């Protein structure tokens, strides 16, 4: 092990997760970079996890913590469905995550966004940030990239969006966070949930919108040709 690396130092985790409601369902989106400090441990991870056929969760913070919470909730919801004989609602799934997060708030370092559709309330988004609070919202953003997106959503969000508008908003927002946040990156994954079922989409990095001063994707850094300009002193 490199003696210059402090193994006891806190691990800085970063991501960008988004949940948006639209007229008929919800769209969840996330980047794919999993980092451990300054290292990228996985550049193509899937941060949108299925809980039931109609409910998914976006995970941020500690990958291990969010994965174990998702596993427990998936198990509890499976038992819940067997006992009731019908799928669990989005609210039930979100409250289970809230219960586990709050009961173990001193040990867990994770924030999650629960989204889905059920026949009672339609499409719903619930934010469960660090500490276990539960908040029902028309849209929710989380992770380190979210600090770059609050003003953007204040301007871009609107009621009654179509499915296509919500999908475009999520992809645009995640690409903006990737451009500005060093801990977010990779590809963009989205999951759309409505009365017709679930649709998953994948957007490679070279198909994302470019923002101010971003370079176009290149196969090699040697392909970037720039004219030499004398430096002024």
Catalytic residues: 15
Other beta carbons within 10 angstroms of residue 22's beta carbon come to 24
CA angle 96, 101, 107 (to 5 degrees): 150
Cβ(134)–Cβ(105) below 8 Å: no
Joined tokens for residue 50? 């299925």
Closest CA to 57 of 67, 44, 65, 42: 67
Other beta carbons within 10 angstroms of residue 32's beta carbon come to 23
């Amino acid at each position: 092990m490199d003696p210059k690396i402090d193994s006891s130092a806190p691990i800085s985790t970063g991501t960008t997760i988004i949940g948006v409601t639209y007229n008929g369902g919800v769209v969840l989106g996330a980047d794919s970079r999993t980092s451990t400090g300054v290292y990228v441990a996985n550049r193509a991870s899937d941060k949108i996890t299925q809980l039931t056929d109609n409910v998914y969760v976006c995970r941020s913070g500690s990958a291990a913590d969010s994965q174990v919470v998702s596993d427990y909730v998936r198990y509890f919801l499976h038992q819940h469905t067997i006992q009731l004989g019908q799928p669990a609602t989005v609210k039930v799934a979100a409250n289970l995550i809230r219960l586990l997060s709050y009961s173990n708030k001193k040990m867990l370092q994770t924030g999650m966004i629960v989204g889905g559709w059920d026949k009672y309330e339609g499409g719903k988004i619930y934010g469960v940030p660090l500490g276990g609070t539960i908040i029902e919202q028309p849209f929710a953003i989380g992770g380190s990239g979210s600090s770059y997106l609050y003003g953007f959503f204040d301007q871009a969000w609107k009621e009654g969006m179509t499915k296509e508008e919500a999908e475009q908003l999520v992809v645009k927002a995640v690409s903006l966070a990737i451009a500005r946040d060093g801990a977010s990156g990779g590809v963009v994954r989205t999951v759309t949930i409505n009365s017709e079922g679930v649709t998953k989409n994948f957007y490679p990095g070279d198909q994302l919108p470019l923002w101010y001063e971003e370079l176009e994707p290149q196969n090699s850094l040697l392909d970037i040709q720039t004219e030499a300009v004398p430096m002024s002193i």
